[in-house]
Amino acid sequence: MPRAALGLSAAAVIVVGLAAAPALAEPPAPPSTSTARTELAALTVAAPHSMDGYARDKFSIWAKQPDGCTTRQDVLARDGKDVQDKPGGCQPASGSWYSAYDDATVTDVAQATIDHMVPLAEAWRSGADGWTADQRKAFGNDLKDPQLLIASESSNSSKSDSGPADWKPTNHAFWCTYAKDYTHVKSVWKLTTTDDEKKALASMLDSCTS
* pLDDT tens per residue across span 80-108: 999 999 998 899 999 999 999 999 999 99
- Report, as an integer, the average pLDDT of 38-56: 98
Please tell me the predicted confidence (pLDDT) of residue 17: 30
Phi, psi at 106, each rounded to 5°: -105, 130
Does this model's pTM top 0.85? yes
Instruction: Report the sign of the C-alpha dihedral through residues 98, 115, 169, 147, in that order.
Output: positive
Please tell me the predicted confidence (pLDDT) of residue 128: 98
Please tell me the predicted confidence (pLDDT) of residue 2: 53
Phi, psi at 15, each rounded to 5°: -65, -45
Please tell me the predicted confidence (pLDDT) of residue 3: 57
- Report, as an integer, the average pLDDT of 166-175: 98
Please tell me the predicted confidence (pLDDT) of residue 21: 38
